[in-house]
Amino acid sequence: MKLLAKTNRIYLAFSLAIYLFAGLAFYQVVRILIYNEVETRLKVEKRDFEAYLKQHKAWSDTTYFVENKIDVVPVGRQTRLSETFIDTLIQNRYDQELMPFRQLTFYVPIQGEMHRVSIRKSLIQSYQLIEVITVTMAACLGLLLLGTFWFQGKLSGRLWLPFYESLSRIKRFNLASATPLQLDKPEINEFRELNEVLRKMGDKMQQDYRSLKEFTENASHEIQTPLALINAKVEQLIQSEKLTETQTRWIEEIYQASRRMARLNQGLLLLAKIDNQQFTNNQTVDLAALLAEKLNAMDEVLLHKRIAVEIRNLVPFTVQLPPALADSLVANLVNNAIKHNHAEGRVELASNGKNLSLGNTGNALVSNPERLFERFKKEGSSLDSVGLGLAIIKEICDTYGLQVEYAESNGWHRFDIFRKIGAD
């Protein structure tokens, strides 16, 4: 939920509660005031009535002609002699309508006999008054509520504007680019401080990223150069005529080890570069076509190992990948399918546009298939493999919204690549 929506909602709920309470309280106060007024007047009339009785010693209804004004009923012996106020509804003489009245009931002896006397006052005017007051007040409060709500929305929208501006800039901020994070200097202190802190963090992150990138590049350079030196010296050494066969074998081993180290270094460097997302020039590539092309380019090895290639249903499988990584992915997949194949085996490539699969014959798997994609995980202890090929495949797939799965049954190994759900 957006911050402004949240504050607006809280504000709305709170002011509604307050206004509702205020309205109810106001209504009650007005009501009590009106009742007080009516009851005071009823009491005055009671005194008038008692004064009349004292003077005339008797009561006659004729003195009062106003309907429902007074009611004198003889009650005989009566125990309850208290004075009570009640609300009552009495029918109008002309149009049979029930009208609200306030009634004061008391008992008084007239000519020796106990009478119950009820004096009433119509509440109709008072009720109308309450209604009018309530409606006016509700209207006023409603308008006030809407007004402040609108004002509050506008105000906080304006107040938080620098915040949203900063937020959108941070979203657009690219760690790998050379441009630093640029944020405004808003007049509100808190936001200015926030931007200041964010800017510093951004600069630090970019700097760290750059030094990390440089580190991997420099490390690679520093390792490749001595390896180049070893290689060159070995090459010069084997030109010597005086070497014995054993010495040559030793040199050969040094040479092979240095080659392996170079390949290992290159593999690790590639993985680090993918991790750091240093490849940014994504392009649309058709992996199915690239795989077919690669298999075609490897025809010599395939022929040499007498491996049959079968390509079925080559529907384009387009993905967004940097070309260098697409090439690496395809090369690793094909190399893997050939390396772990046996003579007179088979390689099968199929694509239906959603799923790209490359299968190959081979020996049954010895290691745990779950851990096959881990770095330095090797099937067997082959010397010419550094165990990074599948890790590179997985890393590329993971980083670019693809999923790779491996399955094996009866000496048939298959790699499936498909788009991750939710990824473009």
| Binding site residues, other proteins, CB under 8 A | 217, 220-221, 224-233, 235-236, 238-239, 243, 245, 248-249, 251-252, 255-256, 258-259, 262, 266, 269, 298, 300-301, 304-305, 323-324, 331, 335, 338-339, 382, 384
Cβ–Cβ under 8 Å, residues 248 and 185? no
Residue 40 vs 382, nearer CB to other proteins: 382
Residue 101 vs 279, nearer CB to other proteins: 279
d(CA 101, CA 122): 4
Report how far apart the first and last C-alpha atoms of the chain are (Å, whole number): 26
Residue 156 vs 278, nearer CB to other proteins: 278
Q: How far is the CB of 413 from other proteins (least distance, A)?
A: 16
Residue 323 vs 353, nearer CB to other proteins: 323
Cβ–Cβ under 8 Å, residues 407 and 362? no
Q: How far is the CB of 387 from other proteins (least distance, A)?
A: 13
Residue 241 vs 370, nearer CB to other proteins: 241
Phi-psi category of residue 311: left, alpha or beta, with phi > 0 → left and psi -120 to 50 → alpha: beta
How far CA 274 is from CA of 278, 290, 333, 396, in Å, comes to 6, 20, 17, 7
Q: How far is the CB of 242 from other proteins (least distance, A)?
A: 13
Residue with tokens 């003195």: 63
Q: How far is the CB of 230 from other proteins (least distance, A)?
A: 7
Residue 130 vs 243, nearer CB to other proteins: 243
Residue 55 vs 236, nearer CB to other proteins: 236
Residue burial 192-223, b: 16+ Cβ < 10 Å; e: rest: eebbeebbeebeeebeeeeeeeeebeeebeeb
Q: How far is the CB of 163 from other proteins (least distance, A)?
A: 39
Full DSSP string of 280-332: ---EEEEHHHHHHHHHHHTHHHHHHTT-EEEEEEEE--EEEE-HHHHHHHHHH
d(CA 399, CA 270): 13
Residue 152 vs 276, nearer CB to other proteins: 276
Q: How far is the CB of 392 from other proteins (least distance, A)?
A: 11
Helix (H) or strand (E) segment spanning residue 108:
strand 98-110
419 by DSSP, 3-state: which? strand
d(CA 309, CA 360): 9
Q: How far is the CB of 347 from other proteins (least distance, A)?
A: 14
Residue 236 vs 410, nearer CB to other proteins: 236
**What's the DSSP call for residue 382?**
-
Strands 355-361 and 412-419: antiparallel
d(CA 375, CA 271): 10
Query: How many CB atoms sit inside 10 A of residue 172's CB?
Result: 9
